[in-house]
Structure 1
């Protein structure tokens, strides 16, 4: 743990680092591949929409019904002609959910279930959800998501700039596509809990992205007044400076969500937890990935197209070429600064930074202490 903390401090100071922006084409390729897979899953398999979105009926059996979940699924499918989702609740009752059926046939299905389960018809409770109400819920969910996106873009454009707003929007669409694609491939049911999970992870993804953008905005205030670092260099430093923070917060957030998904939903069989826990788990991981590998490199790509940044890049590369040609002996003052560069120039991006000692420190005093 101490080594990890030391690594985080060195990343923040710029003593070490990884060239995320320089390798952005690799990350773009990986993201495109994952996104295509998610879109194929959505196209081929589609989403398993819950009863709240397409209407149907929910039947609840009496306690301690001597029927297994698999048998109940078979009975429900034979009675309705539609796939059924059966969950065994903590008190021993069975919750039989059948989506997409005509609610007028609910009494007929209820009678058939009562006969198969060998219980009285009056002991089975039925809750009906009309298709129009389910469609209304679906429309409201999409409207809420669209409003969220618009507000996010407006806020980021005001707080930062339109390029950062565009990059954040691309990262959000990336996260939503991957999460919904995983739902299609896995076949988990999409419920209002899934929508809540999606909105939650979008906010979390934005949190990571805004942290990096804030650092980037601060470090690029006077970037054109120096000839040491390009915009991409400073963007890379911003990612490295906040990298350990992103990793730590993501790991801490994923632990309880993983417990809900794998232990609660998988091992203990609490299927109702899967609706929200899968969207949270996939979305948190995708959000942390997109903040580091998609949003900030995309901002650097957009900024480098500006005339000022193009001119800066030419000056920086020319300065580096000149320094390489002259060799280290041509710069006796330090190995890390340029004589014509302001003291508050943008900090280093990758590689070690040797801080030169003051030439007058301790001169004429044996101890070097001020009096």
Structure 2
């Protein structure tokens, strides 16, 4: 059973890596997703090892099932990451890490809600299997699913995306994008200082400028240009 489980896991990881590399058109997203999957597997198997729980064929089925669930959650987050990072590369207003972090914030509530909805019926099966049915296939499967889905939700948010941002940060194109974004944010922050602190929000402090702030910045820059045009003329009249 152990040998067959290892073979199934290796085949699963190879196929997933190929499919993700083709879908996202980059190996870094595939690598980050596989690292998150290995994290889920290690944590889930580690809990079984620490507690001494029995590993049955139903448990192995649960392990493979949670890998599929975790991959689904990771792909949803990565879709938003790809959308935001492409927009950031086009506009030059966010670094890659900032765009990826924004994608995680946008999908955070959805990921949590999806996981809670999935965990509730599994928890019911776990309670029924433990108190009414006793040890068996139902209990083994529900326990593996409960642990794996909870860990998979965590990894999709806190492991997969940070690993992806770390891998991409070494690429020359991403370094150039980050340089342009930081320069843009520094210029905007300087203009916001001229406008005043009342226009500054928590998001602008992190380097992300909102449309309302851009209007205030444009107004401040316009007034600054007007002053530069008026002062030389006043000096000539003197």
**Where on the TM-score scale, by shorter chain, does this alignment land: which range?**
0.7 to 0.9
Would you say 1:231 and 2:100 are equivalent positions?
Answer: no
Q: Is the 8 A contact 1:237 1:350 kept in 2?
A: no
Larger Rg, first or second structure (1 or 2) = 1
The Cα offsets for residues 79-126 of structure 1, whole Å up to 9 and x where unpaired, read as xxxxxxxxxxxxxxxxxxxxxxxxxxxxxxxxxxxxxxxxxxxxxxxx
Match of 1:44 in 2: none
CA distance in 1, matches of 2:189, 2:208: 16
Match of 2:173 in 1: 308
Match of 2:7 in 1: 143
Deviation at residue 154 of structure 1 after TM alignment: 0.6
Q: Is the 8 A contact 2:93 2:208 kept in 1?
A: no
CA distance in 1, matches of 2:72, 2:47: 23
Instruction: Tell me how large the CA RMSD over aligned residues is.
Output: 2.4
- Runs of 4+ in structure 1 deviating by more than 6 angstroms, as ranges, are 349-352
Match of 1:264 in 2: 128
Match of 1:254 in 2: 119
**Corresponding pairs, count:** 205
Q: Is the 8 A contact 1:209 1:295 kept in 2?
A: yes
Deviation at residue 179 of structure 1 after TM alignment: 0.7
Q: Is the 8 A contact 2:63 2:144 kept in 1?
A: yes
Match of 1:164 in 2: 29
Alignment of 1:126-137 (within 5 A): 137=1
CA distance in 2, matches of 1:139, 1:213: 32
Q: Is the 8 A contact 2:185 2:207 kept in 1?
A: no
As a proportion of its length, which structure holds more strand?
1
Deviation at residue 219 of structure 1 after TM alignment: 2.4
Match of 1:7 in 2: none
Q: Is the 8 A contact 1:167 1:298 kept in 2?
A: yes
**TM-score relative to the length of structure 1:** 0.51
Gaps in structure 1 of 5+ consecutive residues:
1-136, 337-348, 359-371
**TM-score relative to the length of structure 2:** 0.78
Match of 1:181 in 2: 46
Deviation at residue 350 of structure 1 after TM alignment: 8.7
The Cα offsets for residues 211-236 of structure 1, whole Å up to 9 and x where unpaired, read as 01111212223533323101111101
Give SS of 1:189's match.
coil
The Cα offsets for residues 168-203 of structure 1, whole Å up to 9 and x where unpaired, read as 111111101111111112222111100110111111
CA distance in 2, matches of 1:313, 1:280: 40
Would you say 1:195 and 2:80 are equivalent positions?
Answer: no
As a proportion of its length, which structure holds more helix?
2
